[in-house]
Structure 1
Amino acid sequence: MTQERTGAATFKGNPITLIGPELKVGDQAPDFTVSKNLLEDASLKDFAGKIKLISVVPSLDTGVCDAQTRRFNVEAADLGENVVVLTVSVDLPFAQERWCGAAGIDRVVTLSDYKTRSFGENYGVLIKEFQLDMRSIFVVDAEDKITYVEYLPEMTDSPNFEQAIAAVKALL
């Protein structure tokens, strides 16, 4: 049975339920299957040997998610070739591609959790009430160990960009 964490976070002050485990620093990063586009999937192994900054957003078409993804796109320029910045949302791949084109996003890889929600469930960020992934940040080293986790307590809050980037730089 899938674990449910009732009241693990809020949306505009109202409690929401997150499905899946609460991951911690030192845990092995769970695998996942997400969509790169309509016909092609991706999983954790597709980024093997790289440091992964995984930025999770409910939808790119909201202000906080937009700002979060733009910020990590800028930061990615200074992180080097051994780092990949992934943005995971439940937005359809078409919407992600459209949004990235309009926003000039060229360093972040957008991945869609719309088909199976396996990322959301495996990383403990699937919001039961909305079937969206909760805003969160994971830094995963080249051996797929989690070295940084930030589960946002409120869906509309921004993550701590400085701590996330520092966690990536500590692995370089």
Structure 2
Amino acid sequence: MANVTFKGNPVTLLGNEVNAGDTAPDFTVLANDLSPVTLADSKGKVRLISVVPSVDTGVCDQQTRRFNEEAAGLGDVQVLTVSVDLPFAQKRWCAAAGIENLQTVSDHRDLSFGKAFGVAIEELRLLARAVFVIDANDKVTYVEYVSEATNHPNYEAAIEAVKAAQ
């Protein structure tokens, strides 16, 4: 498993670590209107999945805004931001932040995504910061588990991986 810290303290990640070359595991999260969202819903598209502990915090806010900006130039790519924030809070945050090019989804109900991708933090019931790129055939082509959950991911590498998967 990836070694991840949160504010310098080691945390336990639940689930299985996902690696480039793996078939992406399925998951069910909730859209802002409480409808289910699964991996199969975007079958045939390249997906960039940005994982954040909470959109209401500084680095998560910046990460989501950055991928929203990048999404505008990526063409037919499904960009998701996953957190355990309630769908209502995500919707309110997106409206206030002007987020229009990506979809926020909530893993609060049963940590389906967090456990499937090995990012559920047992001690905090939050998700560890990570980025995954999945190609149109459901193969994982890029993985970054950010070693310190309060740090930024490598945005440039993630965007290059999306372009390479198109």
Sort the TM-score into its range (normalised by shorter chain): over 0.9
Choose which of 96, 102, 113 in structure 2 pairs with 1:102: 96
1:117 maps to which residue? 111
Q: Name the CA distance, whole Å, in 1 between partners of 2:91 and 2:121.
A: 23
Q: TM-score, normalised by structure 1?
A: 0.94
Q: Which runs of 4+ in 1 moved over 6 A?
A: none
1:72–1:49 Cα change, 3 Å: same
One-letter identity of the residue aligned with 1:164 = A
> TM-score of the superposition, structure 2-length normalised?
0.97
Measured against aligned partners, the alpha-carbon deviations of 1:10-57 in whole angstroms (never above 9, x if no partner) come to 111111110011110000000001001353111000011110000000
The aligned counterpart of 1:53 is 48
Tell me the amino acid that sits aligned with residue 94 of structure 2: C
| Structure 1: gaps (5+ residues) | none
The answer on 1:146 being equivalent to 2:140 is yes
Which consecutive unaligned segments of at least 5 residues does structure 2 have?
none
Give the whole-Å Cα distance in 1 for the aligned partners of 2:37 and 2:18: 21
Measure the CA separation in 1 of the matches of 2:140 and 2:116. 13
Alignment of 1:4-43 (within 5 A): 5=1, 8-43=3-38
Identity %: 61
Q: Per the alignment, in what secondary structure is the counterpart of residue 70 of structure 1?
A: helix
SS at match of 2:37: strand
Aligned length, in residue pairs: 166
Aligned equivalents of 1:164 and 1:25: distance in 2?
12
Aligned pair partner of 1:92 in 56, 75, 86: 86
Question: Aligned equivalents of 1:65 and 1:111: distance in 2?
Answer: 14
